[in-house]
Structure 1
């Protein structure tokens, strides 16, 4: 089959479109059906299931450092392209917290397991918390990276650092954000990521290769809309019935053990946004702040983050 873009006709990534460091013959790409749609997943290793959930504007590639590290540590690491992202289906609806968390619960079962550890970056961390509360029986542990505490997400006015406020206000508008995010080969996504990343990573070849791949992925038809719709629901939910149900659901604590990782230079989700997280976690809570990194610790300081994750999973 000819490779015509970032993704082939089966929804699986075209390897030729990826940076060289992402081409790894140990990674297994496949499509899994769950909650009524098809998901592209990338697997490495065997052992207890660890499901990796990406953040805004990302896809599986952003877990390239964690997949081999988790596999080497004895885990079955699976990075998923969330609904509306990467090589997964991009339906027009279903970007609310309840549907997205049902996606994750369904994926755990579709992958042949009863429970999994969820690791999420940014919005993926929010989704990991949501799933642990709404579908507690499928979640073994939670690792939330650069994500606010659960109730701060439901009460969005409490999380609004300036960059967060601007992005939510932008996402709340109809039509315009989707088009702007995909315009000019995804240049807006690069501006957003640059504004949130730490200085050292932004100056690296790894960043240049990664952002180039992210820009290719965000212009795939439906991907920009999928990225915006998740934030649009968060922005509009305080005035909607499903938003009220979400806030009521999040009054229940997370029963699974939680590792919360943040970068001390993260302007988008500063450490203050994690301040009350321990009070929402009944199964044990541990916080780690990584010095010198911004909103993307798993990519900016992968060796540090991988060591924290593996230690937590083995504890």
Structure 2
């Protein structure tokens, strides 16, 4: 096993497989996407499906769904969000509104007018926010292990488990989280806390390697910091007000029965209030990392919910 203090290169995130790697420019930065399926062809009846990872992971977390959705006829783009893996890591822009503009720009750069956005964890927050902040670009939203960000009926502190709140508090300390994400076992503890069953050790080691890419640990922490520090600020209040709009597009929320990060009994409160065309599913025996813990079940739910592709 490599020394956790070693610096990794962005190429460590370009895992080979039945997909192709591309870099596209959007919103003033360069983003890496793993693409599969028909390619740059927009179809009104089957928009592009964009997959967004959560904290501590990168596009590769969707490896099982990329191939399954592409085989079913969809154009698929698994994206490294700003600051992650092989995407650019500028010094700012780790707020959720900026990330929605990033995703919208990537959709345009790929030649599509709209996309169905599927996100996990913090990527799910971006997916929910796309529906409110980028409605013209968003054809549907699926959020895995990710409550709606309105926080109207249930505040953030009541949605997370006590141990998850402690990790979120740790992320607010300057510089310490970056060091511990690179050199200690914080990432392993996060995965162990959230998962209903242990993740593949080789996958966990790859996630640790990718977090050793220069600035990747810092930008991961910055996104968590914004989620807390923005709450009393004007930008946070504006964001919260913006996402409290009623959504009429198709929405799917999936939660794990054994999620150790987000409490199951609080997960769907705001989504049920703000989404009209809404479906909520619970996967028995699965934890927070649904696309890896229950890949077949997640794929089955997505294929049943997505509009049929045009062949």
Same-fold status (TM-score > 0.5): yes
Structure 1 partner of 2:85: 86
Q: Give yes or no for the alignment of 1:293 onto 2:286.
A: yes
* Counterpart Cα distance in 2 of 1:138 and 1:273: 29
Cα displacement (A) at 1:224: 0.5
After superposition, what is the alpha-carbon deviation per residue over 1:73-113, rounded to whole angstroms, capped at 9, x for unaligned? Answer: 11011101100101000111101121111111111111111
Secondary structure of the structure 2 residue equivalent to 1:268: coil
Q: Give yes or no for the alignment of 1:279 onto 2:273.
A: yes
Matched-pair contact (CA < 8 Å) for 2:47–2:139: no
1:145-294 matches, within 5 Å, as 145-152=144-151, 155-184=155-184, 187-199=185-197, 201-202=198-199, 207-276=200-269, 277-282=271-276, 284-294=277-287
Q: Give yes or no for the alignment of 1:36 onto 2:28.
A: yes
Matched-pair contact (CA < 8 Å) for 1:149–1:273: no
Q: Give yes or no for the alignment of 1:305 onto 2:298.
A: yes
* Counterpart Cα distance in 1 of 2:79 and 2:14: 16
Cα displacement (A) at 1:5: 4.4
* Counterpart Cα distance in 1 of 2:61 and 2:275: 27
The structure that is helix-richer by fraction is 1
Cα displacement (A) at 1:226: 1.1
Cα displacement (A) at 1:194: 1.4
TM-score (norm 2): 0.89
Matched-pair contact (CA < 8 Å) for 2:115–2:137: yes
Secondary structure of the structure 2 residue equivalent to 1:120: strand
After superposition, what is the alpha-carbon deviation per residue over 1:125-153, rounded to whole angstroms, capped at 9, x for unaligned? Answer: 11100111111111111110000122129
Matched-pair contact (CA < 8 Å) for 1:145–1:260: yes
After superposition, what is the alpha-carbon deviation per residue over 1:135-188, rounded to whole angstroms, capped at 9, x for unaligned? Answer: 11111111100001221299423424213321221122222212221124xx32
Q: Give yes or no for the alignment of 1:117 onto 2:109.
A: no
Aligned length, in residue pairs:
293
Cα displacement (A) at 1:48: 2.9
The higher relative CO (CA closer than 8 Å, separation ≥ 6) is in 2
TM-score (norm 1): 0.88
* Counterpart Cα distance in 2 of 1:178 and 1:253: 37
* Counterpart Cα distance in 1 of 2:8 and 2:168: 30
* Counterpart Cα distance in 2 of 1:74 and 1:163: 41
Structure 2 partner of 1:61: 60
After superposition, what is the alpha-carbon deviation per residue over 1:240-296, rounded to whole angstroms, capped at 9, x for unaligned? Answer: 1100101111221223211101110002112223231211113x0001101101001
Q: Give yes or no for the alignment of 1:137 onto 2:126.
A: no
Secondary structure of the structure 1 residue equivalent to 2:306: helix
Structure 1 unaligned regions, length at least 5: 16-22
Structure 2 unaligned regions, length at least 5: 1-6, 39-45
